[in-house]
Amino acid sequence: MTDVQRSLVLVKPDGVRRGLSGEILRRIEAKGYALAAVELRDATPELLAEHYAEHEGKPFYAPLVEFMLSGPVLAVVIEGQRCIEGFRSLAGATDPTVAAPGTIRGDLGRDWGLAVQQNLVHGSDSEESAAREIGIWFPQL
């Protein structure tokens, strides 16, 4: 039985600004996942309202959207067996201060004392989210 999945990964504006896009793609490829699409994009409020619909109404929602509009993001579709769970594991915990060393957030992120956790990457959290998010960012795929 094959379980080849696709997942939507975003290098968030902090990662792009800090010049970490290459390092993050390197880790994805070193893990063995394929890059199915890579595109530097400016998010829009409409796109982010769809992407982060589950977080609407939460206290960090407005600062999160503002942060995601603060610069370009690198939108990436990765592919491989169980890559949804696998990339979440590579990314580490949401809070970069406590994300385990060895993970993207644990090795490269920290708390900057800002209103939203600037944690370098987004990764889809389920097959359903992945299909939905890939449809938002790459409707042509």
- Return binding residues for ATP: 12, 60, 88, 94, 105, 119
Which residue, 61 or 138, is less far from ligand GDP as judged by CB? 61
| Residue 64 interacts with ligand GDP (CB under 6 A): yes or no | yes
Please tell me the count of residues contacting ligand GDP according to CB under 6 A: 10
Strand stretches in the chain, DSSP E: 4-11, 34-41, 73-81, 121-123
| Residue 116 interacts with ligand GDP (CB under 6 A): yes or no | yes
| Residue 7 interacts with ligand GDP (CB under 6 A): yes or no | no
What sign has the CA pseudo-torsion 72, 77, 106, 61?
Answer: positive
Catalytic residue among 8, 122, 123, 137: 122
Tell which one of 15, 103, 119, 134 touches ligand GDP (CB under 6 A).
119
What six digits make up the tokens of 111? 């708390």
Which residue, 1 or 90, is less far from ligand GDP as judged by CB? 90
**Shortest CB 116 distance to ligand GDP, Å:** 4
Burial (Cβ within 10 Å: 0-12, 13-18, ≥19) of residue 8: buried
**Which residue's structure tokens are 């949401």?**
94
Active site residue 122: yes
Q: Which parts of 43-62 interact with ligand GDP (CB under 6 A)?
A: 55, 60
**Which residue's structure tokens are 């993050």?**
24
DSSP state for residue 56 in the 8-state scheme: T
Closest alpha carbon to 42 in 71, 18, 20, 16: 71
Which residues lie near ligand GDP (CB under 6 A)? 55, 60, 64, 94, 115-117, 119, 122, 125
Catalytic residues: 122
